[in-house]
Chain A
Amino acid sequence: AQTVTQSQPEMSVQEAETVTLSCTYDTSESDYYLFWYKQPPSRQMILVIRQEAYKQQNATENRFSVNFQKAAKSFSLKISDSQLGDAAMYFCAYRRESNYQLIWGAGTKLIIKP
Chain B
Amino acid sequence: EAGVAQSPRYKIIEKRQSVAFWCNPISGHATLYWYQQILGQGPKLLIQFQNNGVVDDSQLPKDRFSAERLKGVDSTLKIQPAKLEDSAVYLCASSLFSGLAGNEQFFGPGTRLTVL
B-contacting residues of A (Cβ < 8 Å)?
Answer: 4, 33, 35, 42-47, 50, 52, 91, 93, 99-102, 104-107
Q: Is the pair A100, B103 in contact by a Cβ cutoff of 8 Å? A: yes
Q: Is the pair B107, A106 in contact by a Cβ cutoff of 8 Å? A: no
Select from chain A the residue with minimum beta-carbon distance to B42.
A104
How many angstroms from the CA of A107 to the CA of B37 in the assembled complex?
11
Q: Name the prevailing secondary structure of the B interface residues.
A: loop
Interchain Cβ contacts within 8 Å, total number: 51
How many angstroms from the CA of A58 to the CA of B104 in the assembled complex?
18
What are some 6 contacts across the A-B interface (CB < 8 A)?
Answer: A33-B102, A52-B101, A52-B102, A102-B43, A104-B42, A106-B42
User: Nearest Cβ in chain A — how far from B47, in angstroms?
Assistant: 11
Q: How large is the interface on B (under 10, 10 to 19, 20 to 34, 35 or more residues)?
A: 20 to 34
Select from chain B the residue with minimum beta-carbon distance to A52.
B102
Q: Is the pair A102, B107 in contact by a Cβ cutoff of 8 Å? A: no
A-contacting residues of B (Cβ < 8 Å)?
Answer: 40-45, 48, 55-56, 89, 91, 93, 98-99, 101-105, 107-110, 112
Task: Kindly identify which residue among A35, A44, A47, A100 contacts B99, using a CB–CB cutoff of 8 Å.
Answer: A100
How many angstroms from the CA of A6 to the CA of B1 in the assembled complex?
33
Q: Which residues from chain A contact B89 at a C-beta distance below 8 Å?
A: 43
How many angstroms from the CA of A79 to the CA of B50 in the assembled complex?
35
Q: Is the pair A43, B110 in contact by a Cβ cutoff of 8 Å? A: yes
How many angstroms from the CA of A42 to the CA of B9 in the assembled complex?
11
Given contacts A44-B110, A45-B91, A100-B99, contact A50 B43 (CB under 8 A): no
Task: Kindly identify which residue among B43, B91, B93, B98 contacts A100, using a CB–CB cutoff of 8 Å.
Answer: B98
Give the residue among B98, B105, B109 with the most A Cβ atoms within 10 A.
B105
Q: Is the pair B107, A45 in contact by a Cβ cutoff of 8 Å? A: yes
Task: Kindly identify which residue among A47, A99, A101, A107 contacts B42, using a CB–CB cutoff of 8 Å.
Answer: A107
Given contacts A104-B42, A105-B42, contact A42 B101 (CB under 8 A): no
How many angstroms from the CA of A35 to the CA of B104 in the assembled complex?
9
How many angstroms from the CA of A43 to the CA of B43 in the assembled complex?
11
Q: Is the pair A102, B45 in contact by a Cβ cutoff of 8 Å? A: yes
How many angstroms from the CA of A105 to the CA of B44 in the assembled complex?
10
How many angstroms from the CA of A68 to the CA of B43 in the assembled complex?
23
Given contacts A45-B91, A47-B104, A106-B42, contact A101 B48 (CB under 8 A): yes
